[in-house]
Chains A and B, each alone.
Chain A
Amino acid sequence: MPVICALLPRLSLLAAVGGRRELLGEPVALAPEPGRRAVVGEASNAAEALGVTPGMAVGEALARCPELRLVPPDPDGARRRWGQALDGLERIGAAPESDRPGEAFFASDGLRELHGGRTEDVLAAARRTLPAGVRLGAGPSRFCSRAAAGRARPGRPLTVSEEEQARGFLAPLPVALLRSRPELAELPDVLERLGLRTLGQLAALSAAAVSERFGHPGLLALDLALGRDTPLDPRRPPEPVAERLDLPEAASGAQLERALELLVARVLARPERRGRALRSLVLTARFVEGGTWRRPVTLRTASAEPERLGLALAPRLSELPAPAESLGVEVEAFGPPAHEQAALPGDPTAAAAVRQRRIGEAIGQARRAAGEHAALRVLEVDPDSRVPERRAVLAPYPVEGGRPRSGP
């Protein structure tokens, strides 16, 4: 299954500089995201030429390049730009998978006949719809196409056609390429310390040896080096439901919570919701000083209750690292139609005795009809056990003279 990779380098940096494109000619890099590790993000060519690399500690980057300018990141803007690019791919019929802005994969199988019959025609159609500067690569697997795109020039896609050819193509490449997979981010350092510098050296090892030494990540890395990969998981087309609210100057504490309540109420009132509960939301903010912030929140149970949504989102407000000029809530995924029922009111004390007597009668009748084990009760055995099946057992319901016994 040929896979095509579209790579748009420095998308996050482009989004952060916005209209100030002239900055890209100077040594600039993305400042650390508020509340995250103090490392620089994507860097311009000029900054990289002076030794600044993405992921480098801010102190080290400034020591290497004192004239380096740090621009606040705009993850919201990057996501918006990349969303438009993915929309473009979907317009040519592709079903893209994209876990991070600036990197997308899609299968070319079903597209070739739509665009002229060859993989090259699909690549040309993708190039026409994607922003300038995109690098395209095609290969038999996701990882191989990513490696090809990383070596392609803008406007000149690189194609690796067969699995055998893929092994040859990947063999001389450095194991550092495995870092393109977040779950393998730590592995290349270990491999290099052991003297394994290329994917070919890794591919020459036996699966048993790799499994013994590196476990699951090692086996995945071996598969990637051999030109194999896990199947693509295309994105589900989004249903954009978002609300944003401008905040008064220096809004904090109760004001932010009130703004959040309003946003939740507005989102719930949107007609696109069509009565569905919400399963996954994103809290976003735009800072007074520039830059944006996003925090996804997935609910344990989909809900359309404003109180529950508020309880899930409000703790995130305390993570806001700087004064915000606007706050937003976006729906990422809907749940089933909302049909939650209210709890029954508690029994009044006077009615409890009557209820107990009736339960006793019912248990007696059930046992006469269906045997001694027809009525059971939950008995806590070790309620604090870390093993769920040891916490409670079902035991026969104790009944004395037709009335349930109150004690255990």
Chain B
Amino acid sequence: MTPGLRRLAEPRTSNVEAGAGGRPVALGRAPVEAVIEEWVVEDRWWTGEPLRRRHFELVLVDGRDVVVFRDLVSGRWYEQRS
């Protein structure tokens, strides 16, 4: 990254509770009302740092619409503005 530049929408680690099939059932203390969309992104598989993410767009019971993903390489959950 060039000095002076900063990426936007960097993923932040997130406290997602996953249920059956690995689908999120709660984000923090807010249960998930609905999973609106689900998609997988695979990129840079030709490099030594492949990117594999399973994304979910969620509506939480408190009304928030958030996008979270599970890094399929590290297994960690992240929240991200899309």
A residues bordering B, Cβ < 8 Å? 181, 183-184, 216-217, 220, 230, 233, 277, 279-280, 298-302, 333, 335-336, 373, 376, 378-379, 386-396
Contacts and interface: CB of A to CB of B under 8 A. Distances in A.
A50 B32 CA distance: 43
Interface of chain A, main secondary structure = strand
A195 B65 CA distance: 44
Contacts of B7: 389-390, 392-394
Contacts, number: 77
Most buried by A among B1, B4, B36: B4
B58 to A, nearest CB: 10
Contacts of B1: 393
Interface residues of B, number: 30
Contacts of B41: 386-387
Contacts of B6: 376, 393-394
A183 B33 contact: no
Contacts of B8: 378, 389, 391-394
Interface in B54-69: 57, 59, 61-63, 65
B20 A230 contact: yes
Given A277-B63, A298-B33, A388-B11, 7 more contacts: A183-B21, A217-B21, A301-B63, A386-B41, A389-B8, A393-B1, A394-B6
Most buried by A among B7, B31, B81: B7
B22 A279 contact: no
A219 to B, nearest CB: 9
Contacts of A396: 4
Contacts of A378: 8
B48 interface: no
A378 B8 CA distance: 8
A378 B9 CA distance: 11
Closest CB pairs A-B (n = 9): A335-B63, A298-B34, A388-B9, A394-B6, A393-B5, A392-B8, A302-B63, A183-B20, A389-B7
Contact of B9 (A386, A392, A395): A392
A230 B19 contact: yes
B61 to A, nearest CB: 8
A300 B7 CA distance: 26
B31 A298 contact: no
Most buried by B among A216, A280, A336: A216
Nearest to A277: B63
Nearest to A392: B8
B10 interface: yes
B80 interface: yes
Most buried by A among B6, B10, B81: B6
